[in-house]
Amino acid sequence: MDTISSLSELMGERKSGSYVEIPGRLASTFGQQTLSTTLPVSKLLSIYEVDLEVQRSLIPANLSKLMDYIKLYLEGRQAIYFPGIILSSRGAGRYDAEDGVYLMQPIEKAYVVDGQHRLAAFQRLMETLQSAMARAKDRREYDRIEEITEQLSRLYDFPMSVMFYLDISARQERQLFSDINKLPRKIGGNLAVLRDQRRFYHVLATRLAEHDPTLRELGVDTFSERGKSPEYLFSYHLLIEILAAFFEGRMKSAARNNGYQFTQQDEEEHLRNASLYFSKLLEYLPEPSPGEVSWSENVQLALALFFHEQSVKTAKFNRYSLQHAMKILPYIKWDDIYTGDERARLPRRSRIMKAYQFIKEFYEQNHLFLIREGEQEEIG
């Protein structure tokens, strides 16, 4: 009796006619046999498995970001892009050269080498929509049922590029996973944020950098990957940080409103307020230059945090409160913010908060008579 060497042979011996058919082309990649194809998500989710000896545990924050990204496609009907999924068949299935299809038994699985979070995000969204469908049916919300049905259909049919490694070992899978996730360097700084033109503050920053007269005069570096060229005062990345600080009173990493869903009205209103803010900076601060403390990255972020507080004291953004508070700027002695080598020695966040505290204390101690005195001189 011939020996059975794989599950596929065993199932073949039983002459089962039930196969998962995966159309694709065989090739050799780095000396290993591979199959490349495009599959709908519904089929892809039915054939993959995760081996935790190869994969890391899911990272909730990454999963949540991917789910929000997919929602752009489901709810906002925006185009989204994913790199291909890499699977390892571990001897499962067989390739039918005559029909050009890879055949897998329903109980056979291919193991994830790269793409676990992407697949999990689609799986979670599918489960969420299925639960919402059940609730809508119980409540007889027919319009909602129709909406969810359409979203589920689009989710099931979403095409994903997939590469199967047909003959690599678990050790080779671990090495491939390590190489994919460790060796490439992610883009950073200006390039990373400039290429993400869906988020709220990114959209604002682009429009301001391209069309606002003040920022066009100051100059915004949108090309350097990290930092900024010497001839520019602002980098594109810094501009986004300033916007988050000014409108939310938060550093960019904690910004709540830098999302994908916003209205045209919100965008236009924030553009008007940001344009006013930058024009007043140019009016009240010393002449812009790379060495001027008031125009340094740390002080600009400190100013944005401080004037956020002043503009929302009534719980809603108030342009008049902002303009009144900014009249303190000509009186601040910028060179007194840092003593000794603090500007170079302190960590970035500490430099920002030291400048913020200096500005806040100066304002609280002096604004009543300095601003009033300045306004009287304007009237006189």
Task: Kindly state the average pLDDT of the residues 8-35.
Answer: 73
The pLDDT of residue 254 is above 90: no
Higher pLDDT, 294 or 236: 294
pLDDT confidence bin for 378, thresholds 50/70/90: low
Average pLDDT over residues 58-81: 86
Residue 225 has pLDDT above 80, yes or no: no
pLDDT of residue 197: 67
> Concatenated DSSP letters for 14-83?
TT----EEEE-EEEEETTEEEEEEEEEHHHHHHHEE--TTTSPPP-HHHHHHHHHHHHHHHTS------P
Res 171 pLDDT > 60: yes
Please say if the pLDDT value at position 168 is more than 90. Answer: no
137 compared with 370, residue with greater pLDDT: 137
Confidence of residue 37 (pLDDT cuts 50, 70, 90): very high
Question: Per-residue pLDDT tens for 311-325?
Answer: 998 888 999 999 999
CA dihedral 43, 45, 49, 54 (to 10 degrees): 110
pLDDT top residue among 184 and 302: 302
Q: Which of 99-113, 195-209, 282-296, 338-352 shows the lowest per-residue confidence on average (mean pLDDT)?
A: 195-209
| Nearest one of 284, 312, 301, 314 to 353, comparing CA atoms | 301
Rg of the chain taking only CA atoms, in angstroms: 29
Q: Running DSSP on this structure, what letter comes out for residue 331?
A: G
pTM equals 0.64
Residue 208 CA to residue 200 CA, distance in Å, equals 12
The predicted-structure confidence for 205-218, as pLDDT tens digits, reads as follows 989 998 999 999 98
Average pLDDT over residues 176-183: 73
182's tokens: 């460790």
Strand 220-221 and strand 234-235: the pairing is: parallel
Q: In this structure, are residues 37 and 49 in contact, taking their beta carbons and an 8 Å threshold? A: no
Q: Using CA atoms, how far apart are residues 265 and 272, in angstroms rounded to an integer?
A: 11
Q: Is 103 helix (H, G, I), strand (E, B) or coil?
A: strand
Instruction: Give the highest mean pLDDT range of 21-30, 88-97, 105-114, 303-312.
Output: 303-312
Contacts of 284 (CB under 8 A, 6+ apart): 326, 327, 329, 330
CB contact at 8 A, 167 and 131:
no
d(CA 69, CA 58): 17
- Percentage of the chain beyond pLDDT 90 is 43
Residue 380: pLDDT over 90: no
In terms of phi and psi (left: phi > 0; alpha: psi -120 to 50; beta: otherwise), the region of 90 is left
Q: Which residues of 34-52 are buried (b: 16+ CB within 10 A; e: fewer)?
A: bbebebebebbbebbeebe
Residues 294, 334 contacting (CB under 8 angstroms): yes
pLDDT tens digits for range 91-145? 888 898 888 899 998 888 998 988 899 999 999 999 999 999 999 999 888 888 8
pLDDT for 16 equals 46
Tokens representing 268 are 């236009």
pLDDT at 77 over 80: no
- The three-point CA angle 360-362-365 to 5° equals 105
pLDDT band at 169 (very low <50, low <70, confident <90, very high): confident
Distance separating alpha carbons of residues 77 and 96, to the nearest angstrom:
37
Alpha-carbon gap, residue 20 to 249, rounded angstroms: 54
Q: Which of 133, 115, 117 is nearest to 58 (CA)?
A: 117
